[in-house]
Amino acid sequence: MTSAATPFEFKQCVTILKSTGKKAKDLRKLSDLISSVSDESIFHHTYQYFLKEHVLEYTNDFAHWVGESLEERSLAEQLSNVDPYGFGTIGDLRDELRNVIMAYLEGSPEPREARPGDEFYFNETATLVFPVGIWARNLAEFLMAIKLIETGSIYYHFYEARVRVEDKADDFSKWIAETLGEKELAMHIRSIDPFMHNVEEIQKHIADAVEEWVKRDMERMVQVL
């Protein structure tokens, strides 16, 4: 089994929620505020949605609120289809969210307001990143580690990495391809759709893929002997 010169260091992030003090009671206000709130707030309501426990119904907080609180199902579906990883900057993502809302408003009767207390509250986060004290030098160690780490670590390396790493890849596949040279396994991990799973499912998919790979590697070694 190949051992890496540069081990993979597992890190994790936790977030502390901050309120911007801004809220929207209807779609026009939501659209206005999407234009003006901080990048951190847009980031929180889109990318960090995957850090929260959720059922696979929406893919960001805006879609969730539009679907559940305003009961505008069609717009919720359209907003859920906006892929935050498809944009180069937060500004571009912000524009797309606004365009989707404005196009919907032009073609629909004016939607109702949210009930008092059920408005959309714009938040942002302070994020703490820290090493969890686990390193992997080869795939067998990686497999043990991936089963052991918490969901905050999966989020950091699988989701958050896509806005941190230059080629928008996750940290796991990048290390497996570049350091271990296992490009096929890396591609397999990279092909897991981040939208279609919660963090626990992503963890299981990666563990299953690596386990299968390690098993095949071991079988090959036995045959050589």
Position 31 contacts other proteins (CB under 8 A): no
Distance CA 14, CA 126 (A): 9
Taking CB under 8 A as the criterion, the residue among 2, 3, 6, 19 binding other proteins is: 19
Candidate segments 76-84, 126-134, 195-203, 217-225, binder of other proteins by CB under 8 A: 126-134
Beta-strand relationship, 8-24 and 120-136: antiparallel
Asked if 83 is part of the footprint of other proteins (rule: CB under 8 A), the reply reads no
Instruction: Give 38 or 78: the residue with its C-beta nearer to other proteins.
Output: 38
What is the DSSP track for 108-166?
SPPPPPPPTT-SEEEEEEEEEEEEEEEEESSHHHHHHHHHHS-HHHHIIIIIIHHHHST
Helix H, strand E, coil C: the string for 9-22 is EEEEEEEEEEEEEE
Q: Which is nearer to other proteins, 18 or 205 (CB)?
A: 18
- Burial of residue 224, with CB atoms counted within 10 A of its CB: 0-12 exposed, 13-18 middle, 19 or more buried: exposed
Least Cα distance to 50 among 9, 95, 87, 84 occurs for: 84
Name 8's bridge partners.
136
Among 30, 93, 143, 152, binds other proteins (CB under 8 A): 152
Q: Which is nearer to other proteins, 114 or 177 (CB)?
A: 114
Q: Does position 150 bind other proteins by CB under 8 A?
A: yes
Task: Choose between 80 and 123: whose C-beta lies nearer to other proteins.
Answer: 123
Q: Angle at which helices 73-80 and 61-68 pack, to 10 degrees?
A: 170
CB of 43 to other proteins, least distance (A): 9
Q: Are 118 and 15 in contact (CB under 8 A)?
A: no
Instruction: Determine if 119 is a binding residue for other proteins (CB under 8 A).
Output: yes
- Rounded distance between C-alpha atoms, residue 94 and residue 92, angstroms: 5
Q: Does 56 bind other proteins (CB under 8 A)?
A: no
Tell me: does residue 17 bind other proteins (CB under 8 A).
yes
**Smallest separation (angstroms) from other proteins to the CB of 77:** 22
Interacting span for other proteins (CB under 8 A) from 84-92, 93-101, 146-154, 207-215? 146-154
Q: How many residues bind other proteins (CB under 8 A)?
A: 29
User: Considering the complex, what minimum distance in angstroms separates the CB of residue 197 from other proteins?
Assistant: 18
Interface residues with other proteins (CB under 8 A) are 12, 14, 16-23, 40, 53, 116-117, 119, 121, 123-130, 132-133, 150, 152-153
